[in-house]
Structure 1
Amino acid sequence: MWYEIIPSLAAVTTFLGVPTLLIAGIHKVAYGNLYQRDLNEERQRFMFLRDERLTGSGFKHFGLENIPDEETSE
């Protein structure tokens, strides 16, 4: 019957779900966040460093209201 697939479904769901939760937990412990930013490409590293410089954290994104205006001297 249809209920014979329940053990297989539970096993597959467990084997696919546990690594995802485990990686998120490792990121939370190691980096203090749940995000998994890929910094292998130069553009991604640049954007991460920009976010970190402007907001103090590369993982928490803020709007334009938190970026200081440039001082213009006349």
Structure 2
Amino acid sequence: MWFEIIPPCAIICVALYLPGFATYHLNKAICGNAYRRNTDERFDRVMYMRDYRINKNVYQGQGLEGIPDK
């Protein structure tokens, strides 16, 4: 009957939903932010490393007070 498709459909839907759900919560637990930064381009990687060097936390920005005075 038509209702025999419900269990396989539920399994497929859960299997497709889990990676996105897990990525969101793992990034939130490990990095402190639910979304990871995109570092596909060279400029983005340079900005990521700059934020890490200045603040040690790439997900919390600081203003000029975060830049050391040599």
Aligned position for 2:24: 24
Aligned-residue sequence identity (percent) comes to 31
Aligned position for 1:71: none
Q: How far apart, CA to CA, are the structure 2 residues paired with 1:37 and 1:31?
A: 11
Q: How far apart, CA to CA, are the structure 2 residues paired with 1:49 and 1:27?
A: 18
1:13 alignment partner AA: C
Determine if the alignment matches structure 1 residue 6 to structure 2 residue 6.
yes
Tell me the CA shift for residue 21 of structure 1. 1.0
**Change in CA separation of 1:10 and 1:46 when aligned onto 2, cut-off 3 Å:** same
Aligned position for 2:36: 36
Q: How far apart, CA to CA, are the structure 2 residues paired with 1:29 and 1:8?
A: 31
Question: Runs of 5+ in structure 2 lacking a partner?
Answer: 65-70
TM-score by length of 2: 0.58
Deviation >2 Å, runs of 4+: 43-50, 56-61
TM-score by length of 1: 0.55
Q: How far apart, CA to CA, are the structure 1 residues paired with 2:22 and 2:46?
A: 28
Q: How far apart, CA to CA, are the structure 1 residues paired with 2:3 and 2:48?
A: 48
Question: Runs of 5+ in structure 1 lacking a partner?
Answer: 62-66, 69-74
